[in-house]
Amino acid sequence: METFEMIQSRKSVREYSGQITDKQLNNILLAANAGSVGLAKFDEYRLTVIQKPEVLSQMNGIYDAPTVIVVSGQNNGLMEGNSAGTIVHNMELEAENQGLGANYNMASLGSIPAGVLPDGFKPLFALTLGKTNEAFTPREISLKKIQTNIVK
């Protein structure tokens, strides 16, 4: 799919029809690793892939997703939030590029069971993932959706 067509087709998916494959997961994780991180401090972030049903059943707001990927960091400042956002956005776009459903998720962060994330890391962002029956079709996007000021 072409980049702008993918952007026009992007949507939040909250209904999943099955688990993703290991190959699909690998591609999503490669996309995450292509994300930009402030000051290139990649060692301050971790990706935690949760597919274990016993753990997922304890998490709120994940829409019965079979996979949740949590981006966690050692700090919770502005730079960390921005970096986590770019990592998650890359994963979301790659998921949709593969025809998978994905949804940005912050609601689940407080319900991640103890011991799931690496010691010293706090959840910053999550992404729910799974196979979907949803169709991704480009939609018209208005330039008036977000008010814009142009200074020349």
**How far apart (Å, rounded) are the C-alpha atoms in residues 60 and 107?**
7
Give residues with Cβ within 8 angstroms of 109, minimum separation 6.
Answer: 70, 123, 124, 125, 126
What pLDDT shows up at residue 27? 98
Regions of the chain with pLDDT less than 70: 1, 76
What pLDDT shows up at residue 7? 85
What pLDDT shows up at residue 102? 97
Task: List pLDDT tens digits, range 33-75.
Answer: 999 898 888 899 999 999 999 999 999 999 999 999 999 999 7
**How far apart (Å, rounded) are the C-alpha atoms in residues 2 and 135?**
16
Give the strand pairing for 67-73 and 101-105: unpaired
CATH topology of domain 3-130: NADH Oxidase (3.40.109)
pTM given for the model: 0.93
> With contact defined as beta carbons under 8 Å apart, do 113 and 58 qualify?
yes
Give residues with Cβ within 8 angstroms of 134, minimum separation 6.
Answer: 11, 13, 15, 101
What pLDDT shows up at residue 131? 98
What pLDDT shows up at residue 130? 98
**How far apart (Å, rounded) are the C-alpha atoms in residues 98 and 116?**
27
